Structure 1
Amino acid sequence: MNDHRKFQIDERGQLIWDGQPVVLEQRFTLGWWELRIAGLASIAALIGAVFPIGIHFGWW
């Protein structure tokens, strides 16, 4: 297993694997529905985290 020898760094400092540049970052965008679902999931997670704290301190 000498696959590590396929790694190189070019003159610009890019990581190269077997002659091809390695993609270390790939951006994506969410659609309208995905944004709404992610927002609702974030709110639910926040409520799920705050509720036990409120019970512990006797807020409700």
Structure 2
Amino acid sequence: MGHSGIEVSAIGLGCSATRGPFTAGGKPAGWRVVDDEESNAAIRRALEPGVPFFDTADNG
């Protein structure tokens, strides 16, 4: 990851959209309502072929 010396897989799943809506300064600043079942299905699907990295950072 960058110049930190931490190594992660080149294949991963970005998960910030699985958390649902959030605001900044009282205004929408991200994803709208998220279906938990759809989010869970996406994570399960990523696990099937062995995706080893799940990026849960707020924003990149």
State the TM-score, normalized to the length of structure 1: 0.28
Q: Which has the higher contact order (CA 8 A, sep 6+)?
A: 2
State the TM-score, normalized to the length of structure 2: 0.28
